[in-house]
Amino acid sequence: MPRQSDARTLSSLRHALQALRCFSQDEPELGITEISRKLGLSKSTVHRIMATLAEEGFVHRDEETHRYRLGLSVLSLGGIIMSNLEICREGQHLLEEFVHRFDETVHLAVLEDFCTVYVSKLECKHPVQIATHVGRRNPLYCTSSGKVILAYQDESMVEEVIRRGLQPFTPNTITHPDRLRKVLAQIREAGYATSVGELRPGVNSVAAPVRDYTRRVIGAVTAVGPAARFTDEKMRSLAKTLLSISKEISNRLGYYERVSSRTRLQVSHSMGRPT
């Protein structure tokens, strides 16, 4: 019996999309057999899938090795998203200013499917570079952007994240539910989040929340860098600017602060002033 094809969706298409997902930063080039093993499908099936993907330009077949890599068609699609994601459009120039001023790498991340997805990245000139890329997904509980987003979601989402498991990536990763809940409370207090080597050792980050017109936190602005440069003090300093940037982006997305109304947000915005 094959994999349970739950709904009324197309199994062949689903397999093809999963095949596309097999490609990654570390494995940008794959052969038929590799993919068929990853997906548990027969070689002939995968071959047919790849032939179709290649014909449509979604993968590129190397004529010599007969192995496959992602094609440029997906770049087009990516570009379309980028230039239509409102948060991207509005944020780009603010991020550029940030990089110019601090010379630190900065990302824009959004929430999707219990992950943060980087939708924009601006690199600094420093020789030390943290290997991330646009489109990269990370868990919510071990990055500054993830935590700051999570901090402002419904409690049920926090519980779901916990239920899915707090897998440790480094010794610093938060793995205890109660600790996570506590940290999130602190983040709401401060208005921003930090990560000190929680996803990768020696890599720190700071993040501030971005809201849309519904007042929901939908993303974050985050600066990333090596622990050597990202001291506590420096991160506090960066946080100030990140908060003003995130606020500006939020405004452009239609968000406006309602200071004195009886809404569910008494977390005040002491933006420049860390408590």
Identified binder of DNA from the candidate list 21, 25, 27, 33, rule CB under 7 A? 33
DSSP three-state, residue 224: strand
Contacts of 246 (CB under 8 A, 6+ apart): 208, 209, 210, 220, 221
Identified binder of DNA from the candidate list 8, 125, 133, 262, rule CB under 7 A? 8
Q: Which residue, 36 or 132, has its beta carbon nearer to DNA?
A: 36
CB of 199 to its own copies, least distance (A): 17
Choose among 106, 23, 43, 32: nearest CA to 65. 32
Identified binder of DNA from the candidate list 20, 22, 23, 31, rule CB under 7 A? 31
Residues contributing to the site for its own copies (CB under 8 A): 6-10, 12-14, 16-18, 20-21, 23-25, 28, 48-49, 51-53, 55-58, 69-84, 92-93, 96, 110, 112-113, 117-119, 123, 125, 131, 133-137
CB of 15 to DNA, least distance (A): 6
Vertex 87 angle, CA 213 and 199, to 5°: 110
For residues 175 and 141, give the distance between their C-alpha atoms in angstroms, rounded to a whole number: 9
CB of 146 to its own copies, least distance (A): 15
CB of 134 to its own copies, least distance (A): 4
Contact flag: residue 44 with DNA (CB under 7 A): yes
Q: Which residue, 16 or 243, has its beta carbon nearer to DNA?
A: 16
Contact flag: residue 13 with DNA (CB under 7 A): yes
Which amino acid appears at position 150 of this protein? L
Choose among 205, 160, 151, 207: nearest CA to 183. 151
CB 195 within 8 A of CB 205: yes
For residues 222 and 108, give the distance between their C-alpha atoms in angstroms, rounded to a whole number: 6
Choose among 111, 133, 137: nearest CA to 219. 111
Q: Which residue, 41 or 142, has its beta carbon nearer to DNA?
A: 41
Residues that bind DNA (CB under 7 A): 2, 5, 8, 10-13, 15, 31-34, 41-45, 47-51, 61, 66-67
